[in-house]
Structure 1
Amino acid sequence: MKILNVTQIRELDAYTIQNEPISSLDLMERASNAFVGWFTNHFVNTRPVHIFCGKGNNGGDGLAVARILSIQGYDVSVSIINYTDHASEDFKSNLDRLDAHLKAQTLSSVDDFPEVTPNVVCIDTLLGSGLSRPVEGFLAEIIKKLNALPNKLISIDIASGLYADQPNQKEDIIIEPHCTVTFQLPKLAFMLPQNAKFTGEWFVVDIGLNGDFIQNAETPFYYTDKKAAEAIIKPREKFSHKGTFGHALLIAGSYGKMGAAVLSGKACLRSGVGLLTMHLPECGYEIIQISIPEAMAITDSDPKHNTALPELDSYSAIGIGPGIGQDSKTAAMLKSLLEIVKAPLAIDADALNLLSQDQTLYEKLPENTVLTPHPKEFQRLAGDSENEYKRLEIARDFAKKHKVIICLKGANTAVILPSGEVHFNSTGNPGMATGGTGDVLTGIVTALLAQKYEPADAAVLAVYQHGLAGDRAAERKGQSALIASDVVDCLGW
């Protein structure tokens, strides 16, 4: 699913209006019906509704929604915020249509703010996605009032005051909804952690905007949903054998951190690899042989650390990092690996930290190497950023410069390709914020690389399946009780 910018969304609306053809008022009606379809599936008509409308097209949506909900038996109140003398034509038309069903209240000062009982569902349609400057004055005071209410608060399309594809300032006044119901495509703002309280849980409703325009629109930003992920999965042929699905090498573990090796190894096997060999310090031999009988084990001569590489020619993909520690001999081994490796490579955890300590190694990274940093690890690799938009820009520049793939982990993990494309993930939950889940991801990525998935596809699919397994685990255990082993156990393809 593509993520378009504000200009493209405006052009998409205009193209749909011109080529369907359909009037802007009728398109607004279609969008409002789509929202109402979502709303009636979530709230029964015994819940009163209060819609707060601006005077632009987002407010026009609110007036249309009020009329449709009223017809469907909901107890609806409407407050129009009189912060400007200008109103859009579609707003005016929908206000005329509303008059036959209910009378809207006009708020001209904060003192006019209505009393809202706690059971009322409030709907924000003050401002839309075209906002380009901070909210000030009377409208800002109304937003503060709405945020102070204990009521369920829903934003239509985007929270009022939130920019769709650029950073807000910390002092900006923005609606803090419980959920956002957006039209046709998600917004870039929804993907970034700094906007979490300004989006809540968000949903996309289809309003029938022109599919040809969307298909031909150029954007670096994508959202990996179920359809996109499943299209990547390769079917298994009837006469396949273990050699068909590759031989992975995981270089993992050190004294006190063998759990990371176990997690990554199990995840690799659960992700379809034909054969798995694990390179470990001597202290890990019995642990791996007992914990993962399906894996083969090679031990380093060092009792506590990985310090020397095995012969690499027989492996179809290599993963390195989970639990390896940051010993100087391990750092030297990583340097040697980067100089000679020919197989697809995934780098995580301590290997990323070692990489950041010697940035001359960046130039040795093989093209399309998959890096899987969490935000702090990425900060060590590429430097500080003042906000998540800037961090995303830095990550895109890093991926382009070094021709690598970055899985920047988070609530919507961003898979950043050397082309500058960014694929945000749709799966996962806060229960996965626990030690070891990153090691699980490394195992999945390595398995897919070994099965000859293109590195970009391997990264996108691994991140999706990792999050999906986490969602299954959360359903079984609850988010607070979830541990990394649960994610491995819930992998399914």
Structure 2
Amino acid sequence: MEILSAEQIRAWDEYTLQHEPIASIDLMERAAASCLAWLEKAGYAGRSFSIYCGKGNNGGDGLALARMLSDWDCPVAVHILEFGNIGTEDFQINLARLHSTPVEVRFVQGPEHFHPIPPGDVLIDALLGSGLNRKLEGVTAQLAEHLNASGNEIISIDIPSGLFVGRSSKDNTVIRATHTLSFQVYKPAFLMPENEAWVGEVHILDIGLHPGFLAQAAGEAELLDTGIIEAIYKPRKSFAHKGNFGHALLVAGSYGKMGAAVLAAKACLRAGSGLLTCSIPGCGYVILQTAVPEAMLVMDPDERIHTAVPPDLDKYSVIGIGPGLGQEERTVAFFRDLLRQSKKPMVVDADALNILAAHPDLHSMLPPYSILTPHPKEFERLFGAAADDYARFDRAREQARRLGVIIVLKGHYTFIAMPGGKSYFNSTGNAGMAKGGSGDVLTGILTALLGQSYSPGEAALLGVYLHGLAGDLAADTHSQESMLPSDLADHLGKAFQRISKRQ
């Protein structure tokens, strides 16, 4: 699913008006009807509503919805924020239509016109849509604060009023929606961690915009969905053998951190690696042989840390490095030697990222199309602090291009920046995965896929999606609170089954 800017969404509306064809007032009717259908499905029939409208087309959506709710015999009051202008043409048409209903219309010029909000009312925010270009001020900001202070459920149409689509709204006054009913595609604002408190639960409603527009629109990014994943996933052929699915080398673990190696190794095997060799210090021998008997081992001469590059690197189709690695001085020298000797794309995580952050001269030694998997703090150590989430994602795109690598910036909507400029947000996963060790599992998954017949870009997208899907399945089994990172590896089989059933 494409993620479009506010300008592109307006262009899509215009494209639909020209190519369907349809009148703009009828497109507004579709939008309101889709909101009504969602309210019915979500159990809001029979509730009372207070609808707050600006005088633009977002307000027109609110007026059309008010009329439809009145037809349901729901108690509805409409509050129109006055700016002195007469409103858009479609707003005025819907206002005239509303006057033929029993809906009470109130006009708000200032705080003295703020009516007390009945405790049971559902508040509909149709004040300002995605065309907002400056922060809320004056009576508009005061009204937003009035609604936020009510404690009532707030449902925003299109986007919470006061929230910018494509830039940060930090420290601004914004409606705090319980639900956001938006249209056709995700907007960048819905995917930013800093906006979580404002957007609530986002629901994308289909209002029948002309599909032909997407063929010519290059979105800011795409949301990973089943269509993208189905196009990437390759079912196994019946006569395949282990040599068809790669020989992965996983460089992980150190004294006291062998669990990270175990998690990554199990995930690598569950993600389909044909052969797996783990490079570990001596202290991990019994642990790995016991916990992951399917893995082969190559032992570092040191008992506690990594110091020596394993022999015969050419026999491995992929290298994953970082989980539990440690950052000892000799381990840094080891990593430098490994980068000198290996030219195949590798998966770089955890302490390997921290070593890169402490030694920027190593950046240029990364093999092209390697996959880096930082969480936000690791990303900051690598590339510097960003003023806000939008700036952080822009920096990830910039650094992916500069280094010629794939950057997987982990989070609720994990962000994948490709070296060619394309970027993606993941749609799977949940807060139960916010536990130490979840990233080690992702490293194992990515290493396995990169060693198989997937390109680095395909491996990154499929791996991140599978990781999140396994997390969703694990949460269904154990709850978000009780699920463990090891449960992610254990649910990879069901995740693959979920994908393969769609083939």
Q: What TM-score range do you get, normalising by the shorter chain? A: over 0.9
Structure 1 239/73 Cα, relative in aligned 2: closer, same or farther at 3 Å? farther
Question: Which SS does the other structure have where 2:315 is aligned?
Answer: coil
SS in 2 for 1:167: coil
Cα deviation for residue 423 of structure 1 reads 0.2
Corresponding residue for residue 65 of structure 1: 65
Tell me what 1:292 maps to: 292
Residue type of the alignment partner of 1:49 = F
Pairing of 1:48-197 with structure 2 (within 5 A): 48-101=48-101, 102-170=103-171, 172-197=172-197
1-structure distance, mates of 2:437, 2:483: 11
Question: Which segments of 5 or more consecutive residues in structure 2 lack a partner in the other structure?
Answer: 497-503
Q: Deviations over 1:41-61 (max 9, x none)?
A: 112313222211111100000
Distance 1:359 1:293 in 2: 37
> What amino acid maps onto 1:449 in structure 2?
L
Residues 166-315 of structure 1: matches in 2 within 5 Å? 166-170=167-171, 172-310=172-310, 311-315=312-316
**Residues 78-105 of structure 1: CA deviation (Å, up to 9, x unaligned):** 2112233231111111111112222322
1:384 Cα deviation from its structure 2 partner: 1.3
Q: How far apart are the structure 1 equivalents of 2:72 and 2:487?
A: 44
Quick one: distance in 2 between partners of 1:174 and 1:236? Answer: 50
Query: Take 2:247 and 2:31, find their aligned partners in 1: how far apart are those partners?
Result: 51
Provide, for residues 149-194 of structure 1, a one-character-per-residue CA deviation record: whole Å limited to 9, x for no partner. 1111111110101111112242x11111112111111111111111
* Cα separation, 2, equivalents of 1:479 and 1:239: 39
Instruction: Tell me if the contact between 1:135 and 1:161 (Cα under 8 Å) persists in the aligned partners.
Output: yes
Identity percentage of aligned residues: 49
Tell me if the contact between 2:76 and 2:104 (Cα under 8 Å) persists in the aligned partners: no
Whether the aligned pair in 1 keeps the contact of 2:5 and 2:220 (CA below 8 Å) is no
Q: Structure 1: how far apart are the matches of 2:99 and 2:69?
A: 14
The aligned residue for residue 501 of structure 2 is none
Output one character per residue of 1:128-165: Cα deviation in whole Å (capped at 9) or x when no partner: 10000111111111100111111111111101011111
Q: Distance in 2 between matches of 1:165 and 1:375?
A: 20
Native 8 Å contact 2:255 2:304 kept in 1? yes
Matched letter for residue 95 of structure 2: L
Distance 1:386 1:84 in 2: 36
CA–CA distance in structure 2, aligned partners of residues 238 and 73 of structure 1: 61
8 Å CA contact 1:45, 1:73 repeated in 2 = no
Q: How many residues align?
A: 492
3-state SS, counterpart of residue 379 of structure 1: helix
Q: Residues of 1 paired with 2:195 and 2:151: CA distance?
A: 20
One-letter amino acid matched to 1:138? V
Offset at residue 209 of structure 1 (A): 1.1
Residues in 1 aligned to 2:87 and 2:40: alpha-carbon distance in whole angstroms: 28
Deviates more, 1:191-200 or 1:87-96: 191-200
Cα distance change on mapping 1:10 and 1:456 into 2, 3 Å: same
d(CA) in 2 for partners of 1:92, 1:2: 32
Give the superposed CA RMSD. 1.3
Question: Which residue is 1:482 aligned to?
Answer: 483
Partners of 2:372 and 2:411 lie apart in 1 by 14
Conserved 8 A contact 1:182-1:205: yes
* Structure 1: gaps of 5 or more residues: none
Residues 186-242 of structure 1: per-residue CA shift (max 9 Å, x gap): 111111111111211111111111211112112341111222223211111111121
The one-letter code matched in structure 2 to 1:373 is: P
In structure 2, C-alpha distance between the alignment counterparts of 1:405 and 1:305, rounded to whole Å: 28
Contact conserved, 1:248 with 1:447, CA < 8 A, in 2?
yes
